[in-house]
C-alpha cells in the first residue's frame, strides 16, 4: 500500500490488556461527584442489580424475537442434511447440478446488531445441530487462500472436545501441517465423522457428552457475516470449488445481507449463482425490535428506574437518524442508569417496594436534607398547611414517613399510567394521519414532555375519534377492557364496569336499529300509497327541518360519551411525571449529559485536548496563560498551537524552527547532555512524528504547490 504521508515509519501497537477487575474503590468512586459516599456502596450494588435484571430481560426478549428465525433456519438445515444423508432423488438432482444449499439471511441496515444475531445463531447450532461452524468476515478474507485458512482453522478448532484438552498441542501441530485445500477438508471431515461414530458405538453405556446432541454426520455451516463486503472473485472461487465437492461434503452456506437479496445476483454472475440453492430468511424489523424493548423495559412496573421525556427522545433520535441499532439503544439506556445512580445521592431509594421501607428508615440527616432540596418536594411543601410544613422541614422521622408514602404513590402512578397509556394508544393508533403517532413510544414521549390534553394533536385526535364507526368503537372498548383487567391497579374496577356498560348500550342500539328498520319499511309502504302533492310537500318540509335542527342520534350521543370518558381518564392518569412529587429519585432527566456522552463532537474535543492538554492529562504544569506555549506540553500540542498561527500553506522549515525554539526554551546547558547535532536530530525526529500525527488527525496534508510546504485543512481557532 502506498502513502502520501509527510513521513514514513514503523509503528508499534501494544497488545490489548485484559480488563482490570473492579477494585474496592469502585463503590467509593461512585459517590465522589456529590462528595457524599455514605450510600455509595448501596447505590453501586443497586445499580448493578438493576442492570443485571434489565440485561437478562433484554436477552430473553431477543431470544424470543429470534426464535422464529432460528427455527426456520434449523428446518432448512434439517431438510438439506436429510437429503444428503438419505441420498434422496432431490439430493441426486442437486448433486447433478452441483447446487449448494444456501440461506440468504436478510438482517437489515442495523449492522452493529448483526454480531449478536450471528453469535446466538452459532451458539444454537453448535449446541443442537453441528459443531462445525465457521464465521467469516470480509476483512479477514482478501483472497481465497486466506478464506480457506480461516475456514479450516475454525472448523478444526471446533472439533477439539472437552475430553481431549490434554492433546490440544498435538492437535494444533497437526492442523498447522494440513494443507489448506478442499480435498484436505474432505479427508478431515471423513476422519472426524468416522471417529465420532466409532466412539459412540464403543461406549454406548457411558454418560452422553455434548457431541451426542449433534446430528449424525453433521453439516459444515459456513457463515458469511457481511456478504456485501466480500470481493466478487473470492466468493466466485469458493462457490465454484465447493460445488465440485458437494457430493462428498455436506456444506451449507449462510449469507448475512444488510441491504437486499438482489445483491447476490449483482455480485455473482449467473453461472455462479446457479450453483446455489437459495432460500430467503427475513429477520424482524429493527423498529419492531425497538418497540418491544421499550415495551418490556420502560412501559412496565417491573423496574423502578424510568427515563424522562427528553432523555428518551435523545435515545430514539439517535436510533432513527444514526444507526437503527437496538444494541446501541440498550447501551445508552445502561449509560442512563449508571449516570443516574452516580450523580443522584437519593437514587438509593430507586428500588423495589419490598426494600423501600428499610431504606427510607435508614436515611441519614444529610440524605433527608437532600430530599428537602428537591424542587418537586419544595413545591409539595408549599401546598401543605403551616403545621405540616414545619414538621416536614424540621422532623426527620415525619419526613421519612411522608417520603415512603409519596414513593409508594409514585409506584401506583406508574401502574395506572401504563394501563391508561395503552388504552389511549388503542384509540389513537388507528386514526387517519396518526396525530399522536402510530407507535406507543411516540405517545409515551408526548405524555412525558407536557400535559398531552393541552396539545393540538390531542384535540384533533378527539375530533377524529368522535367520527369512528360502531364496529371500531366496540373493538377498541373490548381491547381497553382486556388491558385494564390485566393491569395490577385496583382503581380500575369502576372503569371496567363503565366500559362494559358502554358495550351493553352498543348492543342495545343494534337491537333498536333492527326494530326501527322494520318500522321504517312499513312507513315507506304507507308513504307510497299517499302519492298526492300535499303529502310529498309535507315530507320535504319535515326533512328540511330535521337537517336544520341537526339532532344527534342515540349512537352519536353514546359515541360522544365514550370519547369524553376516555378523555377524563387521560386527564386523571396521564399527568406528566415531572408533576409528581419526588420524581427526581426514579427518573433520569439530564438529557444534556446524555447528549454530551452519545452525540460526539470530535472537532471540539480534539481542539480542547490539543489546546489545553492539562484538562485530559490532569497535570497543572501544562497549563498556560493566554496564548503562550509550554515546552512541557506533548509535541503534538506544541505543533498544533504553532500551526494555528500560520496561513493556508505552512513552511515546514519555519515550523521546525519555531518548534525547536519552544522545546529548547526552558532547557539549561548541561555537560552530560548530548551534542548539539544529536539534539537537533532528536528534535527533528520529534517534529516529524508530531506532524505525522497531526496529518493523521486531518489538520494538514501534503501540498503539490510547494515541496517544502503543507496545506492547512482547517480554519479559524478551532
Degrees (nearest 5) of the Cα angle 287, 289, 295? 105
Please state which of the ranges 187-196, 373-382, 461-470, 518-527 shows the lowest mean pLDDT.
518-527
3-class DSSP assignment, residue 386: helix
Is the pLDDT at 212 greater than 70, yes or no?
no
* Cβ count within 10 A of residue 8: 8
The residues that bridge with 21 in the sheet, in sequence order, are none
The helix (run of H) or strand (run of E) holding residue 117 is: helix 114-128
Q: What is the mean pLDDT of residues 287-301?
A: 91
- Determine the pLDDT at residue 54: 95
* Cβ count within 10 A of residue 481: 19
- What digits encode the pLDDT tens for the residues 18-43? 444 444 555 555 655 544 556 888 99
Give CA 170 to chain center in angstroms.
43
Kindly report the length of the chain: 718
- Determine the pLDDT at residue 27: 56
Please state which of the ranges 101-105, 202-206, 232-236, 247-251 shows the lowest mean pLDDT.
202-206
CA 47 to each of CA 79, 533, 563: distance values in angstroms, whole numbers, following the listed order: 47, 86, 42
Please state which of the ranges 179-183, 284-288, 474-478 shows the lowest mean pLDDT.
179-183
- pLDDT band for 406, please (50, 70, 90 cuts): very high
The answer to whether 46 and 27 are in contact (CB under 8 A) is no
565 backbone dihedrals φ, ψ, rounded to 5° = -70, -45
The answer to whether 135 and 223 are in contact (CB under 8 A) is yes
212 backbone dihedrals φ, ψ, rounded to 5° = -70, -15
Mean pLDDT of the chain: 82
Classify strands 220-224 and 133-136 as parallel, antiparallel or unpaired: parallel
257 backbone dihedrals φ, ψ, rounded to 5° = -120, 130
Please state which of the ranges 258-262, 527-531, 549-553, 584-588 shows the lowest mean pLDDT.
527-531
Q: What is the mean pLDDT of residues 422-437?
A: 92
The helix (run of H) or strand (run of E) holding residue 711 is: strand 709-712
- Determine the pLDDT at residue 86: 57
How many Cα atoms are found within 13 Å in the side-chain-facing hemisphere of 682? 9
CA 393 to each of CA 32, 158, 346, 369, 398: distance values in angstroms, whole numbers, following the listed order: 27, 67, 17, 9, 9
- pLDDT band for 476, please (50, 70, 90 cuts): very high
The answer to whether 134 and 222 are in contact (CB under 8 A) is yes
DSSP string, 478-489: HHHHHHHHHS--
- Determine the pLDDT at residue 4: 53
Closest CA relative to residue 99, chosen from 218, 253, 224:
253
306 backbone dihedrals φ, ψ, rounded to 5° = -135, 160
- What strand order describes the sheet that includes 700-702? 649-651, 709-712, 700-702
DSSP class of residue 2 equals -
CA 283 to each of CA 110, 252, 257: distance values in angstroms, whole numbers, following the listed order: 11, 19, 10
Q: What is the mean pLDDT of residues 208-226?
A: 71
Q: Which domains does the chain have, with CATH numbers?
A: 46-161+176-194+214-284 (3.40.50), 290-587 (no CATH), 602-712 (no CATH)
Please give the residue that has the higher pLDDT: either 548 or 48.
48
- pLDDT band for 508, please (50, 70, 90 cuts): confident
The helix (run of H) or strand (run of E) holding residue 100 is: strand 100-106
The answer to whether 206 and 62 are in contact (CB under 8 A) is no
Give CA 558 to chain center in angstroms.
44
| Residues near 357 by beta carbon (within 8 Å), at least 6 away in sequence | 404
DSSP string, 567-593: HHHHHHH---GGGSTTHHHHEE--HHH
d(CA 544, CA 566): 35
Highest-scoring range by mean pLDDT, 200-209, 447-456, 593-602, 703-712: 447-456
Q: What is the mean pLDDT of residues 426-450?
A: 92
Closest CA relative to residue 344, chosen from 601, 105, 36:
36
| Residues near 297 by beta carbon (within 8 Å), at least 6 away in sequence | 54, 57, 58, 303, 333
- Determine the pLDDT at residue 159: 40
d(CA 231, CA 91): 30
Closest CA relative to residue 244, chosen from 54, 418, 100:
100
3-class DSSP assignment, residue 628: coil
| Residues near 422 by beta carbon (within 8 Å), at least 6 away in sequence | 299, 440, 483
3-class DSSP assignment, residue 712: strand
3-class DSSP assignment, residue 710: strand
CA 456 to each of CA 426, 435, 451: distance values in angstroms, whole numbers, following the listed order: 19, 9, 11
556 backbone dihedrals φ, ψ, rounded to 5° = -65, -40
- What digits encode the pLDDT tens for the residues 607-646? 888 888 888 887 877 777 766 778 788 889 989 988 888 8
* Cβ count within 10 A of residue 423: 27
Q: Cell numbers 302519492 label which residue?
A: 531
Region of residue 241 (left: phi > 0; alpha: psi -120 to 50; beta: else): alpha
- Determine the pLDDT at residue 203: 47
How many Cα atoms are found within 13 Å in the side-chain-facing hemisphere of 105? 28
| Residues near 414 by beta carbon (within 8 Å), at least 6 away in sequence | 301, 306
- Determine the pLDDT at residue 23: 44
- What digits encode the pLDDT tens for the residues 298-330? 999 899 999 999 999 999 999 999 888 999 999
Classify strands 251-257 and 220-224 as parallel, antiparallel or unpaired: parallel
- pLDDT band for 207, please (50, 70, 90 cuts): very low
Please state which of the ranges 121-135, 361-375, 473-487 shows the lowest mean pLDDT.
121-135
- Determine the pLDDT at residue 713: 87
701 backbone dihedrals φ, ψ, rounded to 5° = -155, 155
Q: Report the C-alpha dihedral over residues 458, 459, 464, 470, rounded to 10 degrees.
A: 80
- What digits encode the pLDDT tens for the residues 413-425? 999 999 999 999 9
DSSP string, 307-366: E-HHHHHHHHHHIIIII--HHHHHHHHHHHHHHHHHH-GGGGG-S-HHHHHHHHHT--HH
d(CA 337, CA 448): 18
What percentage of residues in the chain have a pLDDT greater than 90? 44
Q: What is the mean pLDDT of residues 593-613?
A: 84
pTM of the model: 0.78
Tell me the three cell numbers of residue 578. 415531572
- Determine the pLDDT at residue 192: 84
- Determine the pLDDT at residue 647: 85
Is the pLDDT at 385 greater than 90, yes or no?
yes
Tell me the three cell numbers of residue 110. 442495523
Q: What is the mean pLDDT of residues 562-584?
A: 94
Tell me the three cell numbers of residue 428. 389513537
What percentage of residues in the chain have a pLDDT greater than 70? 78
- pLDDT band for 245, please (50, 70, 90 cuts): confident
- What strand order describes the sheet that includes 276-282? 133-136, 220-224, 251-257, 100-106, 276-282
716 backbone dihedrals φ, ψ, rounded to 5° = 75, -165
- Determine the pLDDT at residue 10: 47
Q: Report the C-alpha dihedral over residues 148, 152, 153, 158, rounded to 10 degrees.
A: 150
DSSP class of residue 537 equals H
The answer to whether 448 and 308 are in contact (CB under 8 A) is yes
HEC string of 236-295 equals HHHHHHHHHCCCCCCEEEEEEECCCCCHHHHHCCHHHHCCEEEEEEECCCHHHHHHHHHH
Tell me the three cell numbers of residue 315. 435515545
Amino acid at each position: 500500500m502506498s502513502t502520501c504521508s509527510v513521513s514514513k515509519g514503523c509503528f508499534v501497537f501494544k497488545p490489548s490488556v485484559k480488563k482490570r477487575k473492579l477494585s474496592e474503590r469502585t463503590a467509593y468512586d461512585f459517590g465522589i461527584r456529590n462528595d457524599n459516599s455514605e450510600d455509595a456502596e448501596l447505590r453501586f450494588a443497586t445499580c448493578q442489580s438493576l442492570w443485571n435484571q434489565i440485561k437478562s430481560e433484554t436477552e430473553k426478549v431477543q431470544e424470543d424475537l429470534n426464535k422464529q428465525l432460528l427455527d426456520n433456519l434449523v428446518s432448512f438445515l434439517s431438510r438439506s442434511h436429510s437429503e444428503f444423508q438419505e441420498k434422496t432423488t432431490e439430493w441426486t438432482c442437486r448433486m447433478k447440478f452441483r447446487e449448494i444449499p444456501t440461506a440468504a439471511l436478510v438482517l437489515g441496515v442495523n449492522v452493529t446488531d448483526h454480531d449478536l444475531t450471528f453469535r446466538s445463531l452459532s451458539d444454537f447450532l453448535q449446541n443442537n445441530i453441528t459443531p462445525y461452524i465457521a464465521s467469516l468476515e470480509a476483512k479477514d478474507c482478501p483472497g481465497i487462500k486466506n478464506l480457506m485458512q480461516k475456514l479450516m482453522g475454525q472448523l478444526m478448532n471446533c472439533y477439539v472436545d472437552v475430553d481431549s484438552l490434554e492433546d490440544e498441542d498435538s492437535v494444533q501441530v497437526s492442523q498447522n501441517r494440513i494443507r489448506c485445500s478442499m480435498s484436505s477438508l474432505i479427508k478431515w471431515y471423513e476422519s472426524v465423522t468416522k471417529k465420532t461414530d466409532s466412539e459412540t458405538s464403543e461406549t454406548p453405556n457411558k454418560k452422553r457428552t455434548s457431541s451426542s446432541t449433534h446430528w449424525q454426520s453433521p453439516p459444515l455451516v459456513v457463515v458469511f457475516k457481511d456478504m456485501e463486503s466480500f470481493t466478487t472473485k473470492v466468493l466466485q472461487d469458493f462457490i465454484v470449488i465447493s460445488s465440485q465437492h458437494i457430493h462428498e461434503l455436506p456444506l451449507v452456506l449462510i449469507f448475512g445481507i444488510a441491504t437486499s437479496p438482489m445483491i447476490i445476483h449483482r455480485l455473482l454472475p449467473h453461472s455462479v449463482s446457479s450453483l446455489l440453492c437459495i432460500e430467503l430468511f427475513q429477520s424482524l424489523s429493527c423498529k419492531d425490535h425497538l418497540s418491544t424493548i421499550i415495551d418490556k423495559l420502560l412501559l412496565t412496573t417491573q423496574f423502578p428506574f424510568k427515563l424522562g421525556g427528553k432523555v428518551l427522545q435523545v435515545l430514539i433520535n439517535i436510533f432513527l437518524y444514526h444507526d437503527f441499532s437496538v444494541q446501541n439503544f440498550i447501551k445508552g439506556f445502561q449509560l442512563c442508569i449508571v449516570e443516574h445512580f452516580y450523580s443522584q445521592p437519593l437514587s438509593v431509594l430507586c428500588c423495589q417496594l419490598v426494600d423501600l421501607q428499610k431504606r427510607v428508615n435508614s436515611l441519614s440527616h444529610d440524605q433527608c436534607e437532600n430530599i428537602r432540596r428537591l424542587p418537586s418536594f419544595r413545591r409539595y411543601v408549599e401546598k401543605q398547611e403551616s403545621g405540616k410544613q414545619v414538621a416536614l422541614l424540621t422532623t426527620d422521622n415525619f419526613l421519612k414517613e411522608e417520603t415512603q408514602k409519596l414513593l409508594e404513590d409514585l409506584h401506583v402512578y406508574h401502574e395506572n399510567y401504563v394501563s391508561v397509556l395503552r388504552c389511549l394508544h388503542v384509540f389513537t393508533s388507528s386514526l387517519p394521519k396518526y396525530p399522536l403517532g402510530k407507535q406507543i413510544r411516540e405517545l409515551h414521549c408526548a405524555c412525558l414532555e407536557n400535559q398531552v390534553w393541552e396539545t393540538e394533536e390531542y384535540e384533533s385526535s378527539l375530533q377524529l375519534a368522535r367520527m369512528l364507526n360502531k364496529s371500531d368503537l366496540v373493538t377498541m372498548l373490548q381491547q381497553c377492557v382486556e388491558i385494564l383487567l390485566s393491569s395490577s391497579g385496583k382503581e380500575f374496577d369502576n372503569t371496567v364496569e363503565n366500559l362494559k356498560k358502554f358495550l351493553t348500550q352498543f348492543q342495545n342500539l343494534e337491537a333498536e336499529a333492527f326494530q326501527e328498520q322494520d318500522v321504517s319499511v312499513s312507513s315507506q309502504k304507507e308513504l307510497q300509497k299517499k302519492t298526492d302533492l300535499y303529502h310529498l310537500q309535507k315530507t320535504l318540509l319535515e326533512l328540511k327541518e330535521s337537517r336544520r335542527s341537526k339532532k344527534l342520534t342515540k349512537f352519536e350521543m353514546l359515541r360522544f360519551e365514550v370519547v369524553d370518558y376516555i378523555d377524563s381518564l387521560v386527564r386523571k392518569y396521564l399527568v406528566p411525571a415531572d408533576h409528581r412529587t419526588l420524581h427526581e429519585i426514579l427518573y433520569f432527566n439530564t438529557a444534556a449529559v446524555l447528549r454530551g456522552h452519545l452525540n460526539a463532537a470530535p472537532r471540539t474535543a480534539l481542539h480542547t485536548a490539543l489546546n489545553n492538554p492539562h484538562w485530559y492529562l490532569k497535570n497543572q504544569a501544562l497549563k498556560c496563560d493566554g496564548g503562550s506555549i509550554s515546552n512541557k506540553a506533548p509535541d503534538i500540542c506544541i505543533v498544533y498551537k504553532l500551526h494555528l498561527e500560520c496561513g493556508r500553506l505552512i513552511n515546514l522549515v519555519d515550523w521546525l524552527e519555531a518548534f525547536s525554539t519552544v522545546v529548547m526554551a526552558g532547557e539549561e546547558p548541561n555537560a552530560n547532555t548530548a551534542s548539539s547535532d544529536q539534539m537537533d536530530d532528536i528534535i527533528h525526529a520529534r517534529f516529524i512524528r508530531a506532524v505525522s500525527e497531526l496529518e493523521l488527525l486531518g489538520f494538514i496534508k501534503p501540498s503539490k504547490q510547494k515541496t517544502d510546504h503543507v496545506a492547512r485543512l482547517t480554519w479559524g481557532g478551532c
